[in-house]
Amino acid sequence: MAEIRHFPAHTDAQTLATALAQDGAIIVDKVVSKDFVADLRAETDPYMNATDNGRDEFSGTNTTRTGGLVMRSAKCRDLIEHASIVGPCQEFLAPYCERVQLHLTQIIRIRPGETKQSIHRDRWAWGKHLAHVEPQFNTIWALTDFTKENGATQVVPGSTQWPDEQRAEPGQITQAEMEAGSVLIYSGSVFHGGGENRSEHDRIGLNITYTLGWLRQEENQYLSTPPELAKDLSPQMQELIGYAMGQYALGYFTPPGEPGQHPELVPPQYALGAETESSSLGDIGALEALEETIGVGKH
């Protein structure tokens, strides 16, 4: 049975991105302290405890999934922007985009008695149309210890190049056992699934996922965090949740108003109060990347 490689918290971004590309899943140990986890849970447990179980086998009839965490938890925002994650995320997804964005935030609580989730790929959120690119950099932060007994995530290391139709044999599946404060990082192409909880306690993980800036996000960040709330976040967080151009000519808008009241074409940051001197379809770097891709100049 293949095992998931573990790395210390100080491991550099390139090493983590390379290992993830090779294996499809890795664990970084003890990235945040038990006190940090306790503070995060103090912010999020009330929302989690008010969340109903899932209504089908895939989402889990003994599993709760609590989202909208950008505005619900300052500690979750700290993890979304954590340098040990954003760095390797950008390295890993750089071949496929000019900008990364937040895809979803979700606390997943697997309760006692929950059965195994079916093995799947997260990139199937877009159907099976993205086999030619790697669309995701996914994390599950352990908010409790993850053990084989309480439903540690099932992972099939090395399965990123498998055909979509291939099925994992039991001997190819391992589980992401780790201490609270550690993080499982896995790609959108690796086969995985939630584990069976045979224990008497909840297994709680925080799923934070990033994707290519030109793809539709699974969790609609613009509705979870509208401009009147997003304007008070850090610039990096604003860009991660989607208040930025995905790349050249992706994401601009025309503000509503009277004739001449606003510039005609503005980037998403304009909705947060950013100054814009002239209409633009993107910054110079994004235009240069587009021209290099298509091999021509302006038109």
Give the domain CATH number at 34: 2.60.120.620
Give the domain-ending residue among 171, 196, 212: 212
Do 184 and 259 lie in a common domain?
A: no
Number of separate domains in the chain: 2
Do 261 and 196 lie in a common domain?
A: no
15 confidence band (pLDDT: 50, 70, 90): very high
Integer Cα distance of 6 and 19 in angstroms: 10
Residue 164 has, within 13 A of its CA and on its CB side, a CA count of: 11
Do 187 and 87 lie in a common domain?
A: yes
Do 74 and 208 lie in a common domain?
A: yes
Kindly state the average pLDDT of the residues 26-41. 98
Do 182 and 267 lie in a common domain?
A: no
pLDDT digit string, tens, across residues 189-247:
999 999 999 999 999 999 999 999 999 999 999 999 999 999 999 999 999 999 999 98
pLDDT at 293 over 60: no
Domain that holds residue 174: 5-212
Kindly state the average pLDDT of the residues 249-256. 90
CA angle 146, 102, 165 (to 5 degrees): 65
Do 151 and 263 lie in a common domain?
A: no
Do 281 and 139 lie in a common domain?
A: no
288 confidence band (pLDDT: 50, 70, 90): low
pLDDT digit string, tens, across residues 91-103:
999 999 999 999 9
pTM above 0.85, yes or no: yes
pLDDT digit string, tens, across residues 180-189:
999 999 999 9
Q: Are 140 and 126 in contact (CB under 8 A)?
A: no
151 to 36, 55, 136, 175: CA distances (angstroms): 22, 19, 23, 8
